[in-house]
Each structure stands twice: as structure tokens, then as C-alpha cells.
Amino acid sequence: AEQKAPPPTLAELCDLLGLSSRGSLHKQVQALVQAGLIEPMNGQHRGVRLASGPVETEQGLGTLPLLGKIAAGLPIEAISEPRQVEVPSHLRRRRPCYLLQVEGDSMREIGILDGDQVVIEQRDYADDGEIVVALIRGEEATLKRILQKPGQVILYPENSAMEAMEYDPDEVQIQGVLVGQMRAYL
């Protein structure tokens, strides 16, 4: 088995980097710990090592506004003061996006659960099979899979205990398309 070299001490790092003050190096080390790039090895003389897991860089994060809650068949419950939530770049698109918090279990069979935050790309059209935020008759909002036929729009829940909903095209306004999902385990 190949033996790895032990992590350097602060004194060795100062020497290697040409620094005279361990205090300024300590600040830099703490910033690297907070960024998740290195891990402290508590209680050991050689105090840090590279982080073991994948690291999300600052360039990979951005924020989106959490605008409200969406529950099947009810208006979007808008948040009076939308807050910004950090969202990884792979969950966002170039077009404007926003977050909604899901209430209910109409989409549970594809893993969208009560309490999840969904990333919605703001647009007024969708391809068949996409999951959309649909405003029905200008009053109710729902998160469902869409199928558009001549003279008919069908919104499908992903819950076998629920029925699909059929509407005339002029009764349904697409407000966005699902592009990402986030869940917190508390």
C-alpha cells in the first residue's frame, strides 16, 4: 500500500509559502475551512487535510427568489417578502427562474414531495410531458405534467390516487416549467 505524506504543520506551510506570520496564514486556513476546501483534523499536530467530498465553488452558487407556495388547485400563496435562496448552478437556467415550495402530494410518484422547493423557469409555453406551473382560469395554480392537444389541455398528477384534469386551452396559462428541485432533510 502506498503511504501518504502527513499534512504540513502551520510552520511548514509558512516556510513553503514564504510567509513570516503564522497569524495571517491561520486566517487563510480558516477561510479555506469555511469554504469547504479543507477539513480540520481536531486535536492533531498537523491540523488540516483536503476535503474528502465534492466542493461547490462560489461560482457554482447563485440565488433565486422563493416567491411562494404551490398546492394543487389553490392560488400560489405568495410570500410578502420573497427571500433569496442559494441554488447550485446546475439547477438554474439562463432564462429567469424562481423557487416555489410544494404543498401536497400530487407529484409524489416522481419524487416531488410536500415541502420540497422546485426551481421554475419562467416562461409561458411548454413541451408535452414537461412539468409546469399552470394557472387555471386565472385563479388556481397547480404543478402538473402537461399534455396539449387541439382544443384540449390535460394536466396529469403523478399520484395514482388522483385523476387527470382536462381544460380548454384558453382556461390554462403556463407560468413556468420545472427545471430543478431541492429538498432539506432536517
Give the catalytic positions in this structure. 106, 144
86 pairs with which residues across the strands?
63
HEC sequence for the chain: CCCCCCCCCHHHHHHHHCCCCHHHHHHHHHHHHHCCCEEECCCCCCCEEECCCCCCCHHHEEEEEEEEEEECCECCEEEEEEEEEEEEHHHCCCCCEEEEEEECCCCHHHCCCCCCEEEEECCCCCCCCCEEEEEECCCEEEEEEEEEECCEEEEECCCCCCCCEEECHHHEEEEEEEEEEECCCC
